[in-house]
Structure 1
Amino acid sequence: MLEKQRQQLIIELLEENTFASVKMLCDQLNASEATIRRDLLKLAGDKKIKKIRGGCEALLAKDKPARKISGSAFLAAKERHPNTKRLIAQKAVELCEEDESIIINGGSSTYMMAEFLRTRNMNILTNSFVLAQELLENSDNQITLPGGEIYRKQSIILSAFENDTIQNYHGSKMFMGTPGISEFGVMETDPLLIRAEQKLRKRAEKLIVLADSSKIGVKGNLIFSTLSDVDMVITDSHADPKVLDIFRQAGIEVIIINAAD
């Protein structure tokens, strides 16, 4: 991630939380403590944030702050376990047939599918504008985007309205990532994300979850769907086998690739 991108994400995180510790920024942005401290000094020197002991806080709120949703920043998330995510994405694309219509929910794991979709000829509905741009520039796939607002942090497009492009689309498969999947179901971080993803889910016959081992067994306070609505999970060989057995008992097909990170 470029320095400018990382510093912009720090400002956006402060708009959401007012205060951020160095540790939290390291975790969110997948950066070292030394890097984050340099960023804070630079931003404080430019009078964009207020540096305090152990972290930073926002300056006075803007009159009209941009709309935000909770969740990891796309640019940071795609740098976590990239090699394993790439192999998971490759396996996901192998499940697709030529001329098939599919749905790809935005996220760092599903974005990795772009590399393997370049040589395919498919119909793809996605709310990821970075994935759409990649495929438009480097493939012959037919790309459909839903209407709505762009959320820069997550690099996705979300609509608050029911009547949009999504309602006229049908896909055989929906691919999505998740911050966690456990015996309670597929987790999500924000109610707006859940609403948008459930709209997509209604338009697909099967749900395929791409989740590296760091997401397996992770619980959260918001549930996108129960395990009964999941058809397949693609993960890696570091995943907890006890949790994977729970998935199989729920009727989910589990595909395991060898971890690369």
Structure 2
Amino acid sequence: MYQEERLVSIINYLKKNSRISVEEICHLFGVSRDTARRDLVKLEEQKAIIRTRGGAIFPSAHNEIKDYTKRLKTVSKEKRMIGKKAASIINSGDRIILDASTTVQACAEQIESEECTIITNSINQAEALSVKPGVKIHLLGGELHKEHRFLYGSSVIEKLSHYYVDKVFIGVVGISEHGLTIAHEEDGMVKRKMMERAKRVIVLADHTKIGVTDFYQFAEIHDIDLCITDKTPSKQFRELLANNNVDLLIVNELEDME
């Protein structure tokens, strides 16, 4: 077998097993340890693997976080369903904080309450809410994250410390045993302060976010009161929520059509 063929076979093995040892390469392909090491060096040069002591592992896959405008264009049916359910639990007279996630914007766009007050750091959400006559909008001022369309920084956090609201709606990149995580630290710091200022913390997370851990942890599971998602999570995740006194609300397409 030529080296190029072995390299393809090693990658296919790693896709299924995540790791491979020099001994396994020798056994699988009938080559010497020196040949196996040369194969791994070649794959490392191609940035296809990460070499470890005695073998190699597959690099961790990180999902690219698209900019906010691109994410809005691809807001899924599931996010809209979650947003509609979230909007339905906003009552007239409520004081609400909405973060800058696209799932939370799906909530903002479907708010039907005649009168409520909404605080947000999202310029997109402020625009979407501006067409709703009964909604009072407080847009938090700070430094603008141009790519992801949210305002952040010490002035946003300081302003939030003066509010106390009924509910806060938070979006995440991941929610798992490692808590609530997001890609950007500056976004996470604002979300954390938002959560501190609310009587009830509601996380909106479609099924692709369940069990995922991203870069920056901004809260623990026990910091939230309700998680709204679109598919029944694993038993392990349901137990994680139950053990932390977090309610789970699952929406589905049939409910959305009612």
TM-score where L is the length of structure 2: 0.68
Report the more deviating stretch, 126-135 or 146-155.
146-155
Aligned pair partner of 1:237 in 215, 231, 238: 231
Read off the aligned partner of 1:246 and give its amino acid letter. L
Match of 2:138 in 1: 144
Gaps of 5+ in 1: 1-69
Deviations 1:96-118 (A, max 9, x none): 11011010011110000123215
The partner residue of 1:254 within 238, 248, 254 is 248
Aligned match of 2:10: none
> Do residues 89 (structure 1) and 83 (structure 2) align?
yes
Alpha-carbon distance, 1:259 to partner: 5.4
After superposition, what is the alpha-carbon deviation per residue over 1:15-62, rounded to whole angstroms, capped at 9, x for unaligned? Answer: xxxxxxxxxxxxxxxxxxxxxxxxxxxxxxxxxxxxxxxxxxxxxxxx
Residue number among 158, 162, 166 corresponding to 1:168 in the alignment: 162
Q: 1:210 Cα shift?
A: 0.2
CA contact (8 A) 1:118 1:139 kept: no
* CA pair 119-206 structure 1, distance change in 2 beyond 3 A: closer
1:106 is matched by which residue type in structure 2?
A
Distance 2:90 2:177 in 1: 27
SS at match of 2:188: helix
Q: Shift in Å at residue 167 of structure 1?
A: 2.4
Q: Which secondary structure state, in structure 2, belongs to the residue aligned with residue 157 of structure 1?
A: strand
Amino acid at match of 2:149: S
Q: Take 1:154 and 1:144, find their aligned partners in 2: how far apart are those partners?
A: 19
Distance 1:150 1:162 in 2: 11
- Give 3-state SS (helix, strand or coil) of 1:130's partner: helix
Does residue 115 (structure 1) correspond to residue 109 (structure 2)? The answer is: yes
From the superposition, tell whether residues 239 and 158 of structure 1 become closer, same or farther in structure 2 (CA, over 3 Å). Answer: same
Relative contact order higher in (CA < 8 Å, ≥ 6 apart): 1
Is 1:181 aligned with 2:178?
A: no
More displaced 10-residue stretch of structure 1: 178-187 or 146-155: 146-155
Aligned partner letter, 1:94:
S
**Residue type at the aligned position of 2:124:** V
Which position in structure 2 is the counterpart of 1:202? 196
Q: Is the 8 A contact 1:132 1:143 kept in 2?
A: yes
Quick check: 1:101 aligned with 2:95?
Answer: yes
**TM-superposition CA deviations, 1:145-180 (whole Å, max 9, x none):** 111022121111112337743222111111011000
Between Structure 1 and Structure 2, how many residues are aligned?
191
Aligned residues: CA RMSD: 2.1
Structure 1 residue aligned with 2:121: 127
Say which one has the larger Rg. 2
